[in-house]
Amino acid sequence: MNAFRLLADLTHLLSIIILLVKIRTTKSCAGISLKTQDLYVLVFISRYLDLFTRPLSLYNTPFKLVFLATSITIVYYMRYHKVVKQTYNKDSDTFKHYFLILPCAVLAFFINPKFTFIEVLWSFSIYLEAVAILPQLVLLQSSSNIDNLTGNYVFMLGAYRALYLLNWIYRFFAEDVVRWIPWIAGLVQTALYADFFYYYIKSWRNNERLKLP
Amino acid sequence: SAEALKHDEL
């Protein structure tokens, strides 16, 4: 454990808290992609099946349970809550997210640490997480008005993987750890946010409302 | 490698 890793996980947790606060206090999920949220549920279920096979950890296990519970809660709100579901921008959430699943599954089938059920699912979850933000970014680009909570949510979600990159660099030098699969996927995942980061920071510096061109 | 199977990250 190092400071980058701790900060990364807390940032990830904070992003989820921001989204839940937005949904619960404003009773609105406007600007949030249900497709991205669906993909996160799939990511966490396929990655954290190891809850059943791995010894409990005081640090990892609570995080895993929280990520599973909150991602399912968010999807539940967006699909079934009678007020929240009416605020969902269904017509703008156009990304064909099912087309992300198959390539990630094929990639996981061929590129994995070990060809076992748990390891292939773990690899699938890493690849899928890397691209799961795409429907959300597409939805934001079609939004003329991005509210602060939504902007902060996406920023924190991107910052989390960027901090993992620092953690991996640290671990490479300090612990001699090499993990090509999450590293390359994490690099792709962070790169997808580059454009968003640019406009987020620009709007923050100019004290303007966030808008993607 | 065995090292890669540890998955000690979230």
Nearest to A122 by CA among B6, B1, B2: B6
Q: In chain B, whose CA is at the least distance from the CA of A119?
A: B5
Residue B3: pLDDT band (50, 70, 90) is very low
- Check residue A193 and report its DSSP letter: T
Q: How many CB atoms lie within 10 A of CB A51?
A: 13
The token pair that represents A89 in the structure block:
């921008």
Which of A9, A113, A178 is nearest residue B10 as measured by Cβ atoms? A9
**Interior CA angle at A160 toward A76 and A193, to 5°?**
90
pLDDT value, residue A10: 98
Which of B1, B4, B10 is nearest residue A60 as measured by Cβ atoms? B10
Quote the CA–CA distance of A180 and A76 in Å, as a whole number. 34
Q: Measured between CA atoms, how close is B4 to chain A, in angstroms?
A: 6
Number of H helices, E strands in chain A: 9, 0
What residues of A are in contact with residue B8 (Cβ under 8 Å)? 60
Interface TM-score (ipTM) > 0.90: no
Q: Do B7 and A50 touch (CB under 8 A)?
A: yes
With contact defined as beta carbons under 8 Å apart, do A188 and A132 qualify? no
Which of A63, A113, A178 is nearest residue B10 as measured by Cβ atoms? A63
Q: How many CB pairs under 8 A join A and B?
A: 24
Q: Do A181 and B9 touch (CB under 8 A)?
A: no
pLDDT value, residue B4: 45
Residues of chain A with pLDDT under 50: none
Quote the CA–CA distance of A96 and A139 in Å, as a whole number. 12
- Residue A20, C-beta contacts closer than 8 angstroms, at least 6 positions apart: A70, A73, A74
Check whether B5 has a pLDDT greater than 70. no
- Which amino acid, A25? T
DSSP string of A49-82, one letter each residue: GGGTTS---TTHHHHHHHHHHHHHHHHHHHHH-T
Q: Do B1 and A182 touch (CB under 8 A)?
A: no
Q: Do B3 and A177 touch (CB under 8 A)?
A: yes
Check whether B1 has a pLDDT greater than 70. no
pLDDT value, residue A193: 97
Interface of A with B in 127-166 (CB under 8 A): 164
Quote the CA–CA distance of A190 and A69 in Å, as a whole number. 24
Q: In chain A, whose CA is at the least distance from the CA of B10?
A: A60
